[in-house]
Amino acid sequence: MPGFHLILFDLDDTLFDFSACWEKGMRQTITSHPLTAGLDPDAVYEALRRHSDALWADIREKRINFDQLRRLRLSRTLAEFGRRAEADRLDDFQERYAAACMDAVVPDRAVQSLLMRLKERYTLAIVTNGPANMAVEKIERLGLAPLFPAERVFVSEQIGWHKPDPRIFAAVLERLGASPAEALFVGDNWTADIAGAMDAGLSAVWLNPAGVPPAADHKPLAVIKRLEELWEIVA
């Protein structure tokens, strides 16, 4: 086993099923909010997801911030259905969605148990893309705050770069006093987490529950379907 003493984790869809929470929160808000009343909820959901995904390129290139992303994905979705709304109503939709999404974030005892065992051997940290306030609330709701104190939670909005930019990995390692050779990254997104970390000189373990074939451009240390399998790799 290489000489790791630091394990960095992605947050969303690695330490918990964020995609399910996102969908639950969005669908609940779509069916209850006046802005989307009377519209086909499935069509609205698919449009919101499409615009949200497309706007991430603008986030990475720093052309927009997260508040703008939230407004733009909804305003562009509404425009497809011949509707429009002022900023305050767009923000109200976002607030209702965020509350519904967070209500779906619950602790996973198996993940907590794994992390507690890993903490006995490694320094643990989180490196996540996204807005800082939501990342902190997710960690608290997951019951992971004792395992990941604030000084070991790194959010792209605060760092200034987003995965897969190698500068976010370099900045995190510098703050933690570690070299790339001493760090292992664990994440679910091939481009942002695995290719990004490996391009920055780290080793990586790919959480790939769907069994998607890996690209040929990088070879991670291991591929796992469940996070709990990580123990067998690093123990």
- Average pLDDT over the chain reads 97
Residue 189: predicted pLDDT: 97
Q: Would you place residue 216 in the very low, low, confident or very high pLDDT band (cuts 50, 70, 90)?
A: confident
State CA 9 to chain mean position distance: 10
* Tens digits of residue pLDDT in 106-165: 999 999 999 999 999 999 999 999 999 999 999 999 999 999 999 999 999 999 999 999
In CATH, the number for domain 6-16+107-234 is 3.40.50.1000
CA distance 16 to 105: 8
Sequential DSSP letters for 116-182: HHHHTTSEEEEEE-S-HHHHHHHHHHTT-TTTS-GGGEEEHHHHS--TT-HHHHHHHHHHHT--GGG
| Extents of the domains making up the chain | 6-16+107-234, 19-103
